Amino acid sequence: MKIFDKILWAVDLQQNYELSVAKLIQISKQFGNDIIILKVLPDDLKKSSYNNLVNKSVQKEISELADSFSSEKGLKVSTKVVYGSLIDSTIALAEKENVNAIYLNQTKSDNDKYGKLGKNAFNIVLNSTKPVVIMSNDPISEKSEIVCPVDFSDASGMALKDAILHAKKAGNKLNVISVFTPINITSPRVVYLGVDVNEENEKLYSNYKTDFDTFLKGFDFLDIEYETICLKGDPAVEIVNFAKNHDILYMGSTGKSGLKRVIMGSVTEQVIQDVPCNMVITKSVDVFKIKAPTNITDINNHFELGKQLSELGQYNDAIKHFKECLNINSMHIPSVVELANIFTKLGEDDRVKYYDELYKSIMAQFNNWKIEEEIRKNIGL
């Protein structure tokens, strides 16, 4: 069962992609996804006398880039060369192929508005409904850690949900951070009235941490290593500084600033301009899509699917498949064990007790059958 099916990697063929290839191979090993490599040529080129020459050259280069993945067995890599606008063509192909995410490389822009992101990548982030991943120029670390900032908005919640799935599937540590912005009042009237701004900030910070804890209760962190950290200061500055020491940053593209404020002064905009590490910019569509097969009748398939769902933290769906195993065979010991394990994690002691007793009952029945069989053999029946 794949949760990450395929990605679209848009390239300009003007960079050294050795590091990017290594990163994409690592991602494919973790998630089993396919890769589509896209190169967009300008529309005007079609009218020129040297169109065929350029097209042939590009086809050769993109094929050679695809061959860089040839050593990885089972990894499917395809290429596309199209004419049009880079931004529009990339987004259109991502929609047509229904990819999980668009992958782009960090570039350098001369325009401060785009920072380290580059104009084209910046506009793809703005206009795409698909998640966008920006691959930084930093080398792969031996033990990657994920960072996910949250501001209690739906957008940051979606980013956190994807970050948790990533951590569970890849075995990464997850750092969930939130940034409290202290008030800074310098009004003479406030001073005159004897208001203690520091004391007020401490109260607000305490309330903020309570809101942070409440927000996190809506997420399942079972089976992953994670840490929650509440910082103080300017959100964009604190997020960038924290992420610089880590490897993967998940961010929702629309926070409390509202739709499309990602490019109009929002925290996300400020962070993506810096590209402090590999960034996953989530949208209204989840990065990971759990697509479990339907119409399963075989007990082994139900059991294997249940185990995969359980490993991803999809416990309710996993429970359904393990129970279906017991509907097919009421003495299917492996399913009983898995159900007991899940309910142990969920802290549902009554159900744990039920499946522990069921396990003992089934084992006792097996032992009785074994004794009965031995007796039959001894008396010649």
> Which residue, 302, 251, 305, is CA-closest to 274?
251
Alpha-carbon span 92 to 271, nearest angstrom = 26
pLDDT per residue, tens digit, the chain (381 aa), is 667 889 999 999 988 999 999 999 999 988 889 999 999 999 999 889 999 999 999 999 999 999 999 888 889 999 999 999 999 999 999 999 999 999 999 876 555 666 677 788 888 988 898 999 999 888 877 678 999 999 998 889 999 999 999 999 888 999 999 999 998 766 666 666 666 778 888 999 999 999 999 999 999 898 899 999 999 999 999 999 999 989 999 998 764 443 344 333 378 778 887 878 899 998 877 787 766 666 677 898 899 989 988 888 888 889 999 999 999 998 899 999 999 999 998 889 999 999 999 999 998 888 877 766 666 666 655
DSSP 226-259: EEEEEEES-HHHHHHHHHTTSSEEEEES--TT-T
Alpha-carbon span 151 to 169, nearest angstrom = 25
Tell me if the domain spanning 136-289 has CATH number 3.40.120.10. Answer: no
DSSP 9-41: EE--S-S--HHHHHHHHHHHHHH--EEEEEEEE
CATH class, 299-378 region? mainly alpha
Q: How far is CA 141 from CA 21, 22, 26, 278, 338, in A?
A: 15, 12, 11, 11, 34
> Which residue, 177, 9, 184, is CA-closest to 93?
9
Alpha-carbon span 173 to 147, nearest angstrom = 9
User: In degrees, to the nearest 5, what angle opens at C-alpha 145 toward C-alphas 240 and 4?
Assistant: 105
Ramachandran bin of 42, using left for φ above 0, alpha for ψ from -120 to 50, beta for the remaining angles? beta
What is the reported pLDDT for 262?
37
What is the reported pLDDT for 250?
95
Q: Are 338 and 352 in contact (CB under 8 A)?
A: no
pTM: 0.80
Distance, first Cα to last Cα, the chain: 48
What is the reported pLDDT for 138?
85
> Which residue, 196, 154, 159, 195, is CA-closest to 177?
159
CATH class, 1-105 region? alpha beta
Contacts of 64 (CB under 8 A, 6+ apart): none
For residue 89, report the phi and psi dihedrals to the nearest 5 degrees: -65, -40
Give the residues across from 181 on adjacent strands: none
What is the reported pLDDT for 193?
65
What is the reported pLDDT for 265?
39
Domain borders along the chain are 1-105, 136-289, 299-378
What is the reported pLDDT for 73?
84
What is the reported pLDDT for 71?
85
Antiparallel, parallel or unpaired: β 132-135 and 278-282: antiparallel
What is the distance, to the nearest Å, from the Cα of residue 303 to the centroid of all Cα atoms in its chain?
25
Tokens of 144: 């990657």
User: In degrees, to the nearest 5, what angle opens at C-alpha 51 toward C-alphas 46 and 57?
Assistant: 135
Classified as helix, coil or strand, 83 is: strand
Fold match, 1-105 / 136-289: yes
Q: Which residue has the tokens 């004419």?
A: 83
Helix residue spans in the chain (DSSP H): 18-31, 51-67, 86-97, 119-127, 154-170, 188-192, 197-216, 235-243, 267-274, 299-311, 315-328, 333-345, 349-378
Angle at which helices 267-274 and 235-243 pack, to 10 degrees?
A: 30
Q: How far is CA 364 from CA 209, 336, 370, in A?
A: 51, 14, 10
Q: Are 69 and 35 in contact (CB under 8 A)?
A: yes
Antiparallel, parallel or unpaired: β 173-180 and 132-135: unpaired
Classified as helix, coil or strand, 118 is: coil
